[in-house]
Structure 1
Amino acid sequence: MIMLISRSGRQNQRYENGRRLIAGCIPYRFKADQSNHDKCVQSLEVLVVKSQKSDRVLFPKGGWEKDETVEDAARREAMEEAGVEGLVETQLGIWTFNSKGSKGGERVAHVFPLKVTNLQDHWPEKEFRERRWVSVEDARKRCKHPWMSKALDQLIMRERERHGMAFN
C-alpha cells in the first residue's frame, strides 16, 4: 500500500515582498442535467472541500513551493485536499487576501480552473476533509471568502464565453 501524505513545513514556501504565495484551483466538471425533459442540458459543477478548522467550504489551495511551478502547486493542492486530478487551465486571476489563521499575514493567491479527469478514492487529507460536488449557485452561497467568489465568477464567465450558455 502506498502511503499518501501532504507536504508540510514552511522552509520551501515562496514569498514575495513578505507575502506568502498561494496556488489554488477550482475543480470542475460538466454534468448532464435531465430535469428539462425537452433536451439534455449541461450543468457546471464545482468541487469544494471542507475547511479543517470550521464547517466552511473552500476550493483547494495552499502554499506554492520553491521546487514547483505555480500550476504544479495548484495540481498538488487539488490532489492533497480533494483527491482529484485533472487539466490545469489558464489562470483565472491573482487575488490578495489577509489570512486569519494562526500565522496571519497577507497572501497572494494564484487560482486556476482544473477540469477534473480522475477522482481518487484515497488522498492525503481524506481523514480531515470532505469533498462535495455542488452547483455553481450552491458554491456561491457557501463560499465565505470574497476572493474565492470572484475566482468562481471568472470561471463562470470564461465557460459562458467558451460554450455560449448560462450555468446554474
Structure 2
Amino acid sequence: MPKRRRQTAALPYRLSSDGAFEVLLVTSRDTGRWVLPKGWPMPGKKLSKAAEIEAYEEAGVIGTTAKKSIGTYDYDKVESRKRRIPCRVHIFPLPVDSLLDKWPERGQRTREWFAPKDAATSVDEKDLRLLLGRIETVLRN
C-alpha cells in the first residue's frame, strides 16, 4: 500500500442559542460532497495554523484552531481518473468567532451549519462520520 500523504483540516463549530453544537461543512470544489475545510501542510506553519487558514479560504471562518488534533481520517484524493493520492487528514477543532460574507473561495463552495449527527450522515469518510457522531463528547472533554 502506498504511503499516505498528510493533510490538515479544521472542524469549525459553534454553540447555537439553545446550547447545541453545530458543525460547519463546505462542499468540495470537484464533486460537491460535504467535507471539512482541508488542505496540504504549509511550509513554516504548524498543521493547526494551516487548518485555520484553510477554514478562512474555503469557508470564510474567523477563529483560532486548537493546537492539538482530535483525530484523523483516511481518504483517497482523486487527482484524475488514473491517479489517486492516499491521504491521512489530521483534524483540529476551530470554535468559530465569526463568518465573513466574502472569502477567497466563496464562488466555488457552499457552506452550511449541521447538527453533529446530520453532519456525520452527510460526509463519505467512515472515520470522519464516527468522529462527528461523537464530537460533542470529544469537545466537552
Q: Is the 8 A contact 2:73 2:125 kept in 1?
A: no
Q: Which runs of 4+ in 1 moved over 3 A?
A: none
Higher Cα Rg: structure 1 or 2?
1
Superposition pairs for residues 34-73 of structure 1, below 5 Å? Answer: 42-73=19-50
1: CA distance, partners of 2:124 / 2:72: 18
- Per-residue CA deviations over 1:126-156 (Å, capped at 9, x if unaligned) read 0100111111122112112223213324532
Q: TM-score, normalised by structure 1?
A: 0.73
Larger mean Cα displacement after TM superposition, 65-74 or 145-154? 145-154
- Residue by residue, what CA displacement relative to the aligned partner does 1:3-49 show, whole Å, maximum 9, x if unpaired? xxxxxxxxxxxxxx85322010110000123xxxxxxxx11101010
Aligned-partner SS, 1:88: coil
CA RMSD of aligned residues (A): 1.9
Report the count of equivalent residues.
Answer: 137
TM-score by length of 2: 0.86
Structure 2 unmatched runs, 5+: none
Choose the corresponding residue for 1:85, options 62, 87, 104.
62
Confirm whether residue 104 of structure 1 aligns to residue 89 of structure 2: no
Unaligned runs of 5+ in 1: 1-16, 34-41, 163-168
CA offset digits 1:79-121 (Å, max 9, x no partner): 1110102121231113333223324121121111100012111
Kept in 1, the 8 Å contact 2:26–2:34? The answer is: yes
Q: How many percent of aligned residue pairs carry the same amino acid? A: 31
Q: Does 2:110 align with 1:126? A: no
The residue matched to 2:64 in structure 1 has which SS? strand
